[in-house]
């Protein structure tokens, strides 16, 4: 089982390229800040996983997450926070804000793929 469409929200072009390589076979939607990500979600109703950075211009990851969780339609989409903010407080803040998982940069590819597979299995998303 794998997600139908993954929204990648990060202001780093390098990371977008990395996700393209790592998640071959997963259709990706790209956004470079929280505001753009909300626009992409409005366009792509079939996004069923979000990979989210925290430190971004215009609208940061936590603000975006709050907006997603406040929307009944979007709230069910699992969100994986992927960030350099790595303290225990940061992790708790992210999880309390509604993230399904918290991955610290730099991450190992297999670590992130493991999280995605676990979330996909948990949500029962059809392949």
Partner 1 sequence: MKPDLPPRLGNALEELRATLDRAAELAKEIEKQPEAAAPSVPELQAQLDDVRSDREELSSKLAEYESQVSRLMNLYVATYQLHATLDPAEVQATIAEIAINLLGAERFVLLFWKTDESGECEIAFSQGMKADQSGLYKEGIYAGGDPAVDATLADGVLRIGPMDGSDVLACVPLTVQGTTVGALVILKLFDHKQSLKPEDRDLLDLLAAHAASALFAARVYSTTDRKLKTLESLVKLVRRQ
Helices (H), 23-76: 34-43, 61-69
Q: From the list 39, 45, 58, 86, which residue makes contact with partner 1 (rule: CB under 8 A)?
A: 86
Positions 26 through 85 that interact with partner 1 (CB under 8 A): 84
Beta strands 49-52 and 28-31, pairing class: unpaired
Q: Cβ–Cβ contacts within 10 Å for residue 86, how many?
A: 12
Instruction: Name the 3-class secondary structure at 28.
Output: strand
Question: Is position 13 an interface residue for partner 1 (rule: CB under 8 A)?
Answer: yes
Q: From the list 2, 15, 67, 125, which residue makes contact with partner 1 (rule: CB under 8 A)?
A: 15
Q: From the list 96, 110, 124, 127, which residue makes contact with partner 1 (rule: CB under 8 A)?
A: 110
The CB-of-32 to partner 1 minimum distance in angstroms stands at 12
Which residue(s) pair with 31 in the sheet? Answer: 9
| Distance between CA atoms of residues 1 and 9, nearest Å | 22
DSSP run (H or E) holding 79:
strand 79-83
Stretch that binds partner 1, among 14-22, 31-39, 65-73, 117-125 (CB under 8 A): 14-22
Q: Please report, as ranges, the residues that interact with partner 1 according to CB under 8 A.
A: 12-15, 17-18, 21-22, 84, 86-87, 104-106, 108-110
């Amino acid at each position: 089982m794998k997600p139908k469409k993954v929204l990648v929200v990060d202001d780093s072009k390098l990371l977008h390229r990395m996700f393209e390589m790592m998640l071959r076979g997963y259709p990706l939607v790209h956004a470079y800040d929280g505001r753009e990500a909300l626009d992409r979600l409005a366009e792509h109703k079939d996004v069923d996983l979000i990979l989210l950075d925290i430190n971004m211009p215009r609208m940061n990851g936590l603000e975006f997450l709050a907006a997603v969780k406040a929307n009944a339609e979007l709230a069910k989409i699992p969100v994986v926070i992927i960030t350099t903010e790595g303290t225990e407080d940061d992790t708790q803040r992210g999880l309390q804000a509604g993230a399904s998982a918290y991955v610290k940069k730099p991450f190992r590819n297999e670590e992130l793929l493991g999280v995605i597979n676990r979330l996909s299995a948990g949500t029962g998303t059809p392949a």
